[in-house]
Structure 1
Amino acid sequence: MSSVNTRDSALNAIKRYMTKSKDEAFVMDSDSVASYLQLLNEQWARFNTAQGEVELSCGLDNAEVEESVRVQGESWYATALANFKREQRCRVEPTTQLVTSPTSVSAAIRLPKMDLPTFAGDSTYWIAFYDAFCSLVDTNPTLSDGQKLHYLRSCLKGDALNIISGFKVCDANYTEAWDLLKSRYKIMRVIVEAHLREMFAIP
């Protein structure tokens, strides 16, 4: 098999694993997660070796194309690796079940209803959302981290939800998901600029 064919085969496998890692309907136990991580790393090694051979022989004319292939492969691999590792943490530190058994259904029913604002990624609304979520959820000592992540996902839409869509709902994932969202939107310069654009857009 040529280096290009080997590269393409490995890249397609990495893409499949990336897609599977994002599928919330796909349930994995700890052994399955470990197996997928091993398979993913094996395919990444195949891709990395074959892509290196292709890059050495492609010449300057195709260098940009091959660089884009490598970037795509790295992106898919990084996404799949992060998602599988998060799933692995969930297996080690399972959250309070929310919807999978009669007991968990009762637990879900007992979760208090909260009047949380919806945040879809518009920086002009970040501060209001952040303050409300911190007050009602993040600092609430009666909620587990898994329940906090459940609330967080329930009040996000659009780009904001996409940022944490790879996080399964479990105790181990809440802090990382919340920190990731804050790092994206808790940037005062961006918020100020968004407010200024909104002000100057008013006739």
Structure 2
Amino acid sequence: ELKNLSVSRGYIKGIVTRIFNFVSDENEVRKCSTEALITKRDKLLSAFKEYEAFNMKILALNSSDTENIDEVEKRYFHCVTVLNENIKKQSDCSQGTQESGSSSVICRPKLPNINIPTFSGKYSEYVAFIQIYKSVIHNNKAMDNVQKLYYLRSFLEGQPYDLIKNLPLVSESYDKAIQLLDKRFYNKQQIASEHVNTILDLPPLPKFANAEHFRNFVSVIRQTLAALENLDA
């Protein structure tokens, strides 16, 4: 099992590395369309979440794992920053072009294929999910509420999906769907409890732990504490 997990983690890490190499080439980034940049960002967000999950599973089986998590984190945050900056630049440019034309024309873009990690009801994952969703979809002024509700449904499964699935696909239902999800899953006490359990369930450091063991151990704790602090952000 440990070998399979390591191989899977290596594959996911490769996705982060390829996107990092892409954003390091300014010419390639500039030539990329907004839709392609958004697709790469969504794939990166999903891949990093899987990477973190594999790290937790591997550490639970082998506390001596020597993966350099810090380096992957740095690459991930750099990629997200570069992609977001370029998506915003292109969006601003596109918006300015539209505004310079006829104000009576309303642009309804074809719905792109957007992928973000699905939310299945785990309280400790809700804050990260809703922040990513709002950044990619909710704050996108080019979409109307019906389109946003369509996307929201596609990113939910299990209990969260059941919570809003019977809402009619009309504009007024969108705000109601967000309110229902926030009311059910933005439960600070439950979220904090799950994050604390993540720390308590960490395997103990080996007797002869090296610097890499401590780095990985601290990295998990730091991520969890950041998530706890984010509850009050």
Common fold by TM > 0.5: no
Question: Structure 2-normalised TM-score?
Answer: 0.39
**TM-score, length of structure 1 as denominator length:** 0.45
Larger radius of gyration: 1
